[in-house]
Amino acid sequence: MKDLDTRVRLKAFEFLEEKVAVHADALPREVLTAGFEFEGTRVRLLGPQGIFKPAILPEIPLSITTVPVVEGQPRPYDDEIGPDGLIRYRYRGKEPMHRDNVGLRLAMQRSVPLIYFYGLVPGRYIAVWPAFIVDDDPRGLFFSVEIGQKRDRLQNKESWGEHVVDPARAYLTVQTYRRLHQQSFRYRVIQAYRQCCAVCRLRYPPASRRRPYFA
């Protein structure tokens, strides 16, 4: 039987597949914070902090989040693409041994897949998985994250394997991250103009009804 951590992650990925089929690439925060039932325990996917580990998991976080843009307010953590083509995901605080940072370090060492939530607007998120921590920079206070991989390799723990970055996968991370930015901008523009074109006033369907980028 798969260990608890593996079973919870696979159930979380299955849950997200179901919710993406309903909400596409604009998952409501309340759906993610409500989570799913697992063997009598409620498992949330998102919490108040960017690095989130539900109580049921013993050591390693389930998800990491880049918070939505709020007009006139800077993001508390400025995650970005580094020169290596990977996401620089900032530490929780400035202490490398904070338990959240230790948890992500374990995810890197064990090649455990995470969920990456990217905020479109307050209350709406794109979910991208699998996301892998592939490097750790205690001096710069950030982890390097790779995204954009196929989901079919997540059906069992044995397929996760040792994760080594190559230029092709770094390219996928850059392309996926750019699409996240584009979708975030599109969603905010549609909200600002009440789902109408600013020039011709032609109405568009809500962004949440469009097909997701990630399959």
Cα dihedral sign, 199-178-9-149: positive
Q: Mean of the pLDDT values across residues 88-101?
A: 95
d(CA 37, CA 15): 10
Over pLDDT 70: what percentage of the chain?
65
What pLDDT score was predicted for residue 13?
A: 95
Contact 8, 26 (CB under 8 A): no
Please indicate whether residue 112 or residue 189 has the higher confidence score (pLDDT): 112
- 170 pLDDT band, cuts 50/70/90, is low
Instruction: Quickly tell me which residue has 């490398």 as its tokens.
Output: 96
Q: CA–CA distance from 172 to each of 31, 93, 166 (Å)?
A: 28, 28, 10
Is the bond preceding 96 in cis, omega lying within 30 degrees of 0?
Answer: no
Is the pLDDT at 206 greater than 70? The verdict is no
3-state secondary structure of 125: strand
d(CA 129, CA 133): 12
Q: CA–CA distance from 178 to each of 81, 118, 193, 196, 211 (Å)?
A: 9, 12, 23, 24, 17
What pLDDT score was predicted for residue 211?
A: 42
DSSP secondary structure of 53-86: --TTSSSS-SEEEEPPPBTTB--SS--EE-TTSS
Instruction: Quickly tell me which residue has 């693409």 as its tokens.
Output: 81
> In this predicted model, what pLDDT tens digit does every residue of 107-160 receive, in sequence order?
999 999 999 999 888 899 999 999 999 999 999 999 999 887 666 556 555 555
Phi, psi of 122 (to 5 degrees): -55, 125
Domain ranges for the chain: 4-203
Encoded tokens for 205: 């369907």
